[in-house]
C-alpha cells in the first residue's frame, strides 16, 4: 500500500485491519520458546559486544543536568575504562533541552545523539509544538529523533491523523533519523501493535520503537517479535528496511541476548547490527559490562569496578 | 545468523548400567531363556545397554505377579493408592533432569523437548490420576466402579516414558495392576521407572516391566490371565491385537496411527500458523501419531504461506539431541529411517515437489532433514499413508466444505488443526471434522485433563481426562 494525500481514512483502516491477525497465545509461546536458547561461551561473548554496540544509553529525567548528561556521554564513548577493546554504545538519548550539552560531549566520537521530541512521553500537544520540539532538537545537534505517536488518535481510530503527524515530523527531522515510539503498552492488543507498526512504516519511520519507558508495560519479547515480523514483511513488500528498538525494562544481559536470538531467528543477519536494532536502556549497560568482564577474566568483578554515572 | 556455540546437556546426570533384567514382582530378574538384545543411541549408534528379552514363561511370571498383587492393591482405599501415585509423581519431578537426558539418549529426541514437554507431562499425568483415585464414585461410571484386574500394556518408542504414564497412571488409580512392555528400541526409561516404583515403595507386583520385541508383546496381549489390553502403536499391529483379543472377553483400547489435516484458512494468524505447522510436523521428528502431516492450505494464500514456512524451516537446527539448541533430533531407528526414506522417494516419484532447507546431517546415526512436499493431492500415497517422520505433505483447498471433505477423507481420524481468526468458523469446522482431537490455532498441545483418542482406524477408547478412567473400570 502507498498512502497519498488522496488516501481516505477508510482505505487506510481497511488496509491495517486487513493485515493477518496475531494470535496472542501463539506469539507469546513462540517468544518464550526463543527465550530458552542457550547462548554460551564464544557466542555469548559475541552477543554481549553486539548488545553494547546496540545500546541507546538513555537518561530522561526531570532532574537531568548538564553534568549528568556529560557523565553519560563519557560512559557511552568508553563504557569500560579498564578495557579499551570494549566498544562504544550506539547512541546517547536525552531530552531536547540537553541536546546542546550532549552534542558537545560526543563531538568526534562517532556515537549518535538521539533526542526524544514531540511532547514526549504523552504526545498530548498541538502539532506545531511537536514540530518545533523536533526542529530545535535537530538544530542543536541531534541526528536521531525519537517521536511518540498520538495513542489517543490511534485508539480512536483516526489513523490518518497519526499518519499525517509522523509524515510531518519526518519532514521536520531533515537528515536526522526518525524513530517512532508506538507506546505498545497503551495499544492493548498485538493486532494494534502490528497495525501501528505498519502505519509508522508507511509514513516513513526509519525505526519503530516499543515504548517511552514511562508507562506500566514497556518492551516485551512478544511485542518485539510482532514488530520484527512487521519490519520483515514491510521490507518484502516495499523494499525498504526499517529498524526496531525495544525500550524500557530491559535490565540484564540474559534479557538482551533473548532479543538477539529473536532477531537471529526471525529476521536474521540484516538486522543484527546497530544500524537496524537498538536497546533503549540505562541500567542494562553495566550488566553487559559485568558479564563481559566475567567472560574475559573468568570471575565476577564487584559492582564498584563499574562506573555509576 | 550468528551461530550458537555448542550447549550440550551433561550426560553425567544419568548412570546407565551395562545390562538390565526384567522387572517382575518388585525385583530385576534375568530372562529364563537368557535372551538379550541391545538398545542403541540413534544419534550415534552407540550401544547404551544390553536388555533382557522376555519369553513366554517370563510373561507368565510377570502376569502371575500382577495377579497376586491385584487383590491387596485393589482392596486399598483410593486415598492410599493416591499416596503412591503422588509419591511417584514427585520422584519423577525430582529425577526429571536425569530422566530427560536418558530419554533423549535412548530415543533421539532433542533435550529441549524431553526437558520441557515429555517429563513435565509425565509427572502431570501421575499427579492428575492420583487425584482421581479416591473420587472414582464421582467419575460418572456408576456409584461403585470396580477395577478389571491385570492390564497388559504395550507402548511405542516415540514418547517412551509419556506413553508409560498414559497407561500406568489411570490403571493404578483405578486399582488395576499392570504388566507393561516398552518398545524394543526404547526400553530404558521404563526400566528407570521401575526403579522409581521401588523408591516410592510401591507394593511388589503392582507394576511389572517386561522388555522385548514384538513376540514378547504378542505373548502379553494373548495371555489368558490378562483382563485388559491397552496398546499404542501402528494400525497394522493394532489389527493383529484386535484379532487376538476378539472373543476373549478382554477389554481393549487402541491408540493407532494418524494422518492429521492441519487446515489453514485465508483468515489465519499467519505467523502463528507457520509456527503451528512446524510444531505439528517437526515436533519429535514427526514421530507423533497425531502429527499434522497433511497441511491443507487455502489456495488463495498458499504461495505466501509456503514462502513463510520455508523461511521458518531454514532456521531449524538438526543435530545432537543433547544440545540445548537442537530443534530436530535423530530418527529413532534404522528401520524407521528406511521407511521415511522409502515413502519420500515414492512421493517424489509420484510427481510431488520435494523441498528441504540446507542442513548438514551428522555422519553417524539416523537422520532425516525436515522435508515438505508441495503439489500433493489426495491421490498421492504420501497424502494417505502415515510416514511417521519429519515429512509434510501440502495440499490446497478452495472452500471450507472442500477442506472438511479432504480432511475427513482418510481411514484415520486421530487429530486435526484449524487455523482461523474467525471464532464461528473454528466452531463450525471442528463440529464437522471426524477426529478425536481438534486443535484450534495451536497444535500438539497435551494435557492430562484432556481425553485423547481416535476415530476409525486411529483406534478406539480414550486416554487422559475423566474419560481415560473408563477403560480401566467395570
Contact yes or no for A29 and B275 at CB 8 A: yes
What is the rounded distance in angstroms from the CA atom of residue B94 to the CA atom of residue A197?
Answer: 45
What is the rounded distance in angstroms from the CA atom of residue A138 to the CA atom of residue A92?
Answer: 14
Nearest to A23 among B5, B272, B315 (CB): B272
Task: Find chain B residues with C-beta within 8 A of A43's C-beta.
Answer: 2-5
pLDDT by residue (tens digit) across A189-218? 999 999 999 999 999 999 999 999 999 999
Which of B268, B270, B272, B315 to mutate: most A Cβ within 10 Å?
Answer: B272
Inform me whether the C-beta atom of residue B272 falls under 8 Å from chain A C-beta atoms: yes
Min distance B6 CA to chain A CA atoms (Å): 8
Angle between helices A221-238 and A24-34 (to 10 degrees): 100
pLDDT at B1: 60
Is there a contact between B182 and B213 (Cβ–Cβ < 8 Å)? Answer: no
Tell me the mean pLDDT in the region A275-295.
97
In this prediction, residue A9 has a pLDDT band, given cuts at 50, 70 and 90, of confident
pLDDT by residue (tens digit) across B293-350? 999 999 999 999 999 999 999 999 999 999 999 999 999 999 999 999 999 999 999 9
What is the rounded distance in angstroms from the CA atom of residue B369 to the CA atom of residue A122?
Answer: 51
Which of A17, A18, A21, A263 to mutate: most B Cβ within 10 Å?
Answer: A21
Residue A185 has pLDDT above 70, yes or no: yes
Q: Identify the DSSP state of B286.
A: G
pLDDT by residue (tens digit) across A223-258? 999 999 999 999 999 999 999 999 999 999 999 999
pLDDT by residue (tens digit) across B130-157? 999 999 999 999 999 999 999 999 999 9
Nearest to B5 among A20, A43, A268 (CB): A43
SS3 B205: coil
Catalytic residue among B184, B289, B385, B386: B289
In chain A, the residue whose alpha carbon lies closest to the alpha carbon of B421 is A21
pLDDT by residue (tens digit) across A54-110? 999 999 999 999 999 999 999 999 999 999 999 999 999 999 999 999 999 999 999
Catalytic residue among B255, B385, B457, B463: B255
pLDDT at A7: 84
Inform me whether the C-beta atom of residue B308 falls under 8 Å from chain A C-beta atoms: no
Contact yes or no for B269 and A30 at CB 8 A: no
In chain B, the residue whose alpha carbon lies closest to the alpha carbon of A271 is B1
Q: Identify the DSSP state of B232.
A: E
pLDDT at A3: 86
CA dist list (Å): B205 to B23, B73, B96, B154: 9, 9, 24, 17
- Residues B142-147: contacts with CB within 8 Å, 24+ apart? B145/B174, B145/B469, B145/B473, B145/B474, B146/B74, B146/B175, B146/B473, B146/B474, B147/B70, B147/B74, B147/B174, B147/B175, B147/B176, B147/B472, B147/B473, B147/B474
Is there a contact between B386 and B236 (Cβ–Cβ < 8 Å)? Answer: no
Contact yes or no for B275 and A30 at CB 8 A: yes
Min distance A23 CA to chain B CA atoms (Å): 6
Q: Which residues of A are catalytic?
A: 146, 209, 245
pLDDT at B195: 98
Which of A18, A30, A38 to mutate: most B Cβ within 10 Å?
Answer: A38
Percent of chain B with pLDDT over 70: 100
pLDDT, chain A, mean = 97
pLDDT at A156: 97
In this prediction, residue A6 has a pLDDT band, given cuts at 50, 70 and 90, of confident
Closest CA to A247 of A11, A105, A60: A60
pLDDT at B2: 84
Tell me the mean pLDDT in the region A107-117.
97
Inform me whether the C-beta atom of residue B1 falls under 8 Å from chain A C-beta atoms: yes
Q: List, in order, residues 6 or more apart from B249 with CB less than 8 Å away.
A: none
E strand or H helix that includes residue B415: strand B415-419
Regarding pTM above 0.85, the answer is yes
pLDDT in tens, chain B (474 residues): 689 999 999 999 999 999 999 999 999 999 999 999 999 999 999 999 999 999 999 999 999 999 999 999 999 999 999 999 999 999 999 999 999 999 999 999 999 999 999 999 999 999 999 999 999 999 999 999 999 999 999 999 999 999 999 999 999 999 999 999 999 999 999 999 999 999 999 999 999 999 999 999 999 999 999 999 999 999 999 999 999 999 999 999 999 999 999 999 999 999 999 999 999 999 999 999 999 999 999 999 999 999 999 999 999 999 999 999 999 999 999 999 999 999 999 999 999 999 999 999 999 999 999 999 999 999 999 999 999 999 999 999 999 999 999 999 999 999 999 999 999 999 999 999 999 999 999 999 999 999 999 999 999 999 999 999 999 999
Contact yes or no for A21 and B2 at CB 8 A: no
Task: Find chain A residues with C-beta within 8 A of B116's C-beta.
Answer: 36
pLDDT, chain B, mean = 98
pLDDT by residue (tens digit) across B344-386? 999 999 999 999 999 999 999 999 999 999 999 999 999 999 9
Closest CA to A76 of A85, A86, A65, A62: A86
In chain B, the residue whose alpha carbon lies closest to the alpha carbon of A30 is B275
Nearest to B272 among A26, A36, A260 (CB): A26
| Inter-chain contacts counted by CB atoms under 8 A, chains A and B | 65
In this prediction, residue A5 has a pLDDT band, given cuts at 50, 70 and 90, of confident
Task: Find chain A residues with C-beta within 8 A of B421's C-beta.
Answer: 20-21, 23
Is there a contact between B193 and B20 (Cβ–Cβ < 8 Å)? Answer: no
Amino acid at each position: 500500500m502507498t498512502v497519498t494525500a488522496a488516501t481516505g481514512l477508510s482505505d487506510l483502516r481497511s488496509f491495517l485491519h486487513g493485515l493477518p491477525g496475531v494470535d496472542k497465545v501463539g506469539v507469546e509461546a513462540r517468544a518464550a520458546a526463543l527465550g530458552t536458547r542457550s547462548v554460551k561461551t564464544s557466542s555469548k561473548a559475541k552477543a554481549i559486544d553486539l548488545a553494547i554496540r546496540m545500546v541507546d544509553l538513555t537518561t530522561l529525567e526531570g532532574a537531568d543536568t548538564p553534568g549528568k548528561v556529560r557523565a553519560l556521554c563519557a560512559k557511552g564513548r568508553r563504557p569500560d575504562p579498564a578495557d579499551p577493546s570494549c566498544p562504544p554504545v550506539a547512541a546517547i538519548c536525552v531530552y531536547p533541552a540537553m541536546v546542546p550539552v550532549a552534542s558537545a560531549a560526543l563531538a568526534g566520537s562517532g556515537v549518535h545523539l538521539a533526542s526524544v521530541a514531540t511532547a514526549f512521553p504523552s504526545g498530548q500537544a498541538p502539532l506545531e509544538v511537536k514540530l518545533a520540539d523536533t526542529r530545535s532538537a535537530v538544530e542543536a545537534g541531534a541526528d536521531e529523533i525519537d517521536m511518540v505517536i498520538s495513542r489517543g488518535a490511534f485508539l480512536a481510530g483516526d489513523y490518518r491523523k497519526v499518519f499525517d503527524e509522523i509524515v510531518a515530523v519526518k519532514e521536520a527531522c531533515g537528515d536526522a533519523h526518525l524513530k517512532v515510539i508506538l507506546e505498545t503498552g497503551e495499544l492493548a492488543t498485538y493486532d494494534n501493535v502490528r497495525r501501528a507498526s505498519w502505519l509508522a512504516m508507511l509514513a516513513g519511520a526509519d525505526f519503530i520503537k516499543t515504548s517511552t519507558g514511562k508507562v506500566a508495560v514497556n518492551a516485551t519479547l512478544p511485542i518485539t517479535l510482532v514488530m520484527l515480523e512487521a519490519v520483515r514483511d514491510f521490507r518484502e513488500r516495499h523494499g525498504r528496511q526499517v529498524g526496531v528498538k525495544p525500550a524500557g525494562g530491559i535490565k540484564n544481559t540474559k534479557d538482551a541476548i533473548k532479543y538477539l536470538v529473536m532477531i537471529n531467528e526471525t529476521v536474521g543477519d540484516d538486522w543484527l547490527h546497530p544500524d537496524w536494532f537498538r536497546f533503549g536502556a540505562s541500567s542494562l549497560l553495566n550488566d553487559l559490562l559485568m558479564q563481559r568482564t566475567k567472560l574475559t577474566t573468568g570471575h565476577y568483578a564487584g559492582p564498584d569496578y563499574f562506573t555509576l554515572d | 545468523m550468528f551461530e550458537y556455540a555448542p550447549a550440550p546437556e551433561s550426560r553425567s546426570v544419568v548412570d546407565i548400567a551395562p545390562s538390565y533384567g526384567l522387572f517382575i514382582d518388585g525385583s530385576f530378574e534375568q530372562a529364563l531363556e537368557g535372551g538379550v538384545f541391545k538398545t542403541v543411541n540413534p544419534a550415534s549408534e552407540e550401544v547404551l545397554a544390553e536388555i533382557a528379552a522376555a519369553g513366554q514363561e517370563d510373561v507368565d511370571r510377570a502376569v502371575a505377579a500382577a495377579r497376586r498383587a491385584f487383590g491387596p492393591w485393589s482392596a486399598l482405599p483410593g486415598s492410599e493408592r493416591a499416596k503412591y501415585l503422588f509419591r511417584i509423581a514427585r520422584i519423577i519431578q525430582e529425577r526429571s533432569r536425569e530422566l530427560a537426558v536418558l530419554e533423549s539418549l535412548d530415543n533421539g529426541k532433542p533435550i529441549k523437548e524431553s526437558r520441557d514437554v515429555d517429563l513435565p507431562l509425565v509427572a502431570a499425568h501421575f499427579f492428575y490420576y492420583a487425584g482421581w483415585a479416591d473420587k472414582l464414585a464421582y467419575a460418572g461410571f456408576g456409584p461403585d466402579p470396580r477395577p478389571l484386574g491385570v492390564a497388559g500394556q504395550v507402548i511405542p518408542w516415540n514418547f517412551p516414558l509419556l506413553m508409560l504414564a498414559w497407561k500406568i497412571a489411570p490403571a493404578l488409580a483405578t486399582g488395576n495392576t499392570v504388566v507393561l512392555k516398552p518398545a524394543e528400541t526404547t526400553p530404558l526409561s521404563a526400566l528407570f521407572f521401575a526403579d522409581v516404583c521401588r523408591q516410592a515403595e510401591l507394593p511388589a507386583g503392582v507394576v511389572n516391566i517386561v522388555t522385548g520385541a514384538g513376540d514378547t508383546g504378542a505373548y502379553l496381549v494373548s495371555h489368558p490371565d490378562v483382563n485388559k489390553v491397552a496398546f499404542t502403536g501402528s494400525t497394522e499391529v493394532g489389527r493383529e491385537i484386535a484379532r487376538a483379543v476378539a472373543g476373549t472377553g478382554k477389554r481393549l483400547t487402541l491408540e493407532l496411527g494418524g494422518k492429521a489435516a492441519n487446515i489453514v484458512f485465508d483468515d489465519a494468524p499467519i505467523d502463528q500458523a507457520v509456527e503451528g505447522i512446524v510444531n505439528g510436523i517437526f515436533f519429535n521428528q514427526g514421530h507423533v501419531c497425531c502429527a499434522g502431516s497433511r497441511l491443507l492450505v487455502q489456495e488463495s494464500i498458499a504461495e505466501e504461506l509456503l514462502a513463510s514456512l520455508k523461511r521458518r524451516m531454514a532456521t531449524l537446527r538438526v543435530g545432537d539431541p543433547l544440545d540445548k539448541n537442537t530443534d530436530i533430533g535423530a530418527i529413532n531407528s534404522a528401520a524407521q529411517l528406511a521407511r521415511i526414506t522409502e515413502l519420500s522417494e515414492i512421493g517424489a516419484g509420484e510427481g510431488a515437489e520435494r523441498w528441504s532447507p540446507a542442513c548438514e546431517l551428522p555422519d553417524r546415526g539416523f537422520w532425516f532433514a525436515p522435508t515438505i512436499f508441495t503439489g500433493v493431492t489426495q491421490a498421492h500415497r504420501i497424502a494417505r499413508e502415515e510416514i511417521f517422520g519429519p515429512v509434510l505433505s501440502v495440499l490446497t483447498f478452495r472452500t471450507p466444505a472442500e477442506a472438511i471433505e479432504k480432511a475427513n477423507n482418510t481411514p484415520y481420524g486421530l487429530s486435526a488443526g484449524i487455523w482461523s481468526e474467525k471464532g464461528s468458523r473454528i466452531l463450525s469446522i471442528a463440529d464437522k471434522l471426524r477426529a478425536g482431537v481438534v486443535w484450534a490455532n495451536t497444535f500438539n498441545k497435551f494435557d492430562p485433563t484432556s481425553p485423547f483418542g481416535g476415530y476409525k482406524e486411529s483406534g478406539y477408547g480414550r486416554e487422559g481426562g475423566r474419560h481415560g478412567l473408563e477403560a480401566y473400570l467395570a
